[in-house]
């Protein structure tokens, strides 16, 4: 995804287009690794040595506000950022702490069906996310 496309994405969400925002959103998409704020800063500092960590956080917040990203909570308590907006789950690698998206419509259907039948007392479900922990084999 090139600069122009990113700029359009920002505009469409009513966000001002700045070099910082373009760099940060590009980084998250390119890294494709659910990076932390720190990871993003490291990556963009190669090309934009002047962007500060504070700005990264502020930009990330504005992206979340605008529904361009979601936060992912981790074992360590550090937040990571996920640009995949469609419904999905996560695979957590216990060894490398890699987080990989897991999309599975059939599974979602199964869960939907299950919870349509078996209601939970006094609870209205909005969303179900699976945290699948394990290890990658290669």
**Which of the ranges 47-55, 87-95, 99-107, 108-116 carries the binding residues for DNA, by CB under 7 A?**
47-55
Q: Residue 72 CB, nearest distance to a copy of itself (Å)?
A: 10
Q: Which does 3 bind (CB under 5 to 8 A by kind): a copy of itself, DNA, none?
A: none
Question: Rounded distance, CA 59 to CA 15, Å?
Answer: 10
Q: Which helix (H) or strand (E) holds 97?
A: none
Q: Are the C-beta atoms of residues 66 and 13 closer than 8 Å to each other?
A: yes
Identify which of 6, 4, 75 has the alpha carbon closest to the alpha carbon of residue 34.
Answer: 75
Residues at the interface with a copy of itself (CB under 8 A): 73-75, 77, 79, 91, 93-94, 100, 102, 104, 106-107, 110, 114, 118, 120, 122-138
């Amino acid at each position: 995804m090139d600069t122009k496309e990113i700029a359009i994405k920002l505009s469409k969400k009513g966000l001002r287009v700045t070099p910082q925002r373009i760099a940060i959103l590009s980084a998250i998409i390119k890294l494709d690794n659910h990076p932390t704020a720190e990871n993003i800063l490291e990556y963009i500092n190669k090309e934009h040595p002047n962007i500060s960590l504070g700005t990264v956080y502020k930009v990330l917040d504005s992206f979340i506000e605008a529904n361009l990203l979601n936060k992912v909570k981790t074992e360590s308590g550090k937040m990571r950022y996920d640009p995949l907006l469609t419904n999905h789950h996560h695979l957590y690698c216990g060894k490398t702490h890699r987080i990989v998206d897991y999309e599975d419509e059939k599974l979602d259907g199964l869960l939907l069906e299950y919870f349509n039948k078996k209601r939970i007392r006094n609870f209205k479900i909005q969303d179900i996310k699976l945290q699948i922990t394990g290890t990658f084999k290669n």
